[in-house]
Amino acid sequence: MNAPARLLMILGASMLMLGAGQTIADEIHIAVASNFTHTIKLLGTRFEASSGHKVTFSFGSTGKHYAQIKHGAPFHALFAADVKRPELLDKEGIALPGSRFTYAIGKVVLWSPIKDVVDAQGKVLQDGTFRHLAIASPKLAPYGRAARQVLVQRGIWEALQGRMVRGENIGQTFQFVKSGNAELGFIALSQIKHPARAIEGSVWAVPQSLYSPIEQQAVLLRESDAARAFLTFVRSDESLEIMRGFGYATPNVE
């Protein structure tokens, strides 16, 4: 075989290998509840490194994501902050059958970035020594509904209406508190808990008896080997350990 022919054969083989690699790797787009932002970013990085697939996330309120999906948004999967919307997508035939599962159980805390503002029993809510309290919208965000349940249980929901600053989602609510627009607020524990550092400021870990468990479910929306692989990865021991490090309880473990 002469040199030009050998060169053409090598180039042809290289193109075939490149084409095969492109069919193996895939890109998926996933809608994610705001409270799960930091956790799923780390999960995505680990998944991309081990699989070669590319994952793009869209963060926001579960209520808004549900509406977008109903109007045809091209997400491959939804990681919701509740059970209700994934269940609806299942019943409506939008979710792929048998794909729905609980990936984490969220925890609510009352937090301020300033020391000694929030006491360990949450008595600051009754004392009223603050101007603004941030909560996520109870209509759109499961963590907002949980905050409302806590305040109703404490008998101060109505009394605090004039001091509330409502975020569209728990991410925006966290920013209200972090920026100082509200001295304190109900947020997800996962927003301030990180495996590598201590929690800053002051916090009240709200007892589970004051609000309904925040069971968070995921569902597959479009057929994709890469998306199925990611959902499987999220259920792995490695991923469950990461989630617990960010303050979540995990199904069948805790």
Task: Give the pLDDT of residue 94.
Answer: 97
Q: What is the mean pLDDT of the chain?
A: 90
218 lies in some domain:
yes
| Token pair of 100 as six digits | 């729905």
Amino acid code (one letter) for 198: A
217 lies in some domain:
yes
Q: Mean pLDDT throughout 8-16?
A: 45
253 lies in some domain:
no
Do 142 and 148 contact (CB within 8 A), yes or no?
no
Residues 101 and 217 in one domain: yes
Residues 35 and 159 in one domain: no
Task: Give the pLDDT of residue 144.
Answer: 94
Q: Which residues constitute the domain of residue 191?
A: 108-205
Q: Mean pLDDT throughout 106-115?
A: 97
Residues 99 and 115 in one domain: no
Residue 129 has pLDDT above 60, yes or no: yes
How many structural domains are present in the chain? 2
252 lies in some domain:
no
Task: Give the pLDDT of residue 6.
Answer: 53
Task: Give the pLDDT of residue 2.
Answer: 57
Residues 14 and 61 in one domain: yes
Residues 21 and 33 in one domain: yes
Residues 234 and 171 in one domain: no
251 lies in some domain:
no
Task: Give the pLDDT of residue 196.
Answer: 81
Residues 100 and 161 in one domain: no
Q: Mean pLDDT throughout 19-41?
A: 82
116 lies in some domain:
yes
112 lies in some domain:
yes
pLDDT band at 20 (very low <50, low <70, confident <90, very high): very low
Residues 14 and 52 in one domain: yes
187 lies in some domain:
yes
Residues 100 and 114 in one domain: no
Q: Mean pLDDT throughout 25-40?
A: 94
pLDDT band at 177 (very low <50, low <70, confident <90, very high): very high
| Token pair of 153 as six digits | 């249980």
Q: What is the CATH number of the domain that holds 199?
A: 3.40.190.10
Residues 37 and 163 in one domain: no
Residues 222 and 193 in one domain: no
Do 227 and 99 contact (CB within 8 A), yes or no?
no
Burial pattern 1-36, b for ≥16 Cβ within 10 A else e, equals: eeeeeeeeeeeeeeeeeeeeeeeeebebbbbbbbbb
Put simply, whether the predicted model's pTM sits higher than 0.85 gets the answer: no
Residues 19 and 92 in one domain: yes
Q: Mean pLDDT throughout 4-21?
A: 46
Residue 107 has pLDDT above 50, yes or no: yes
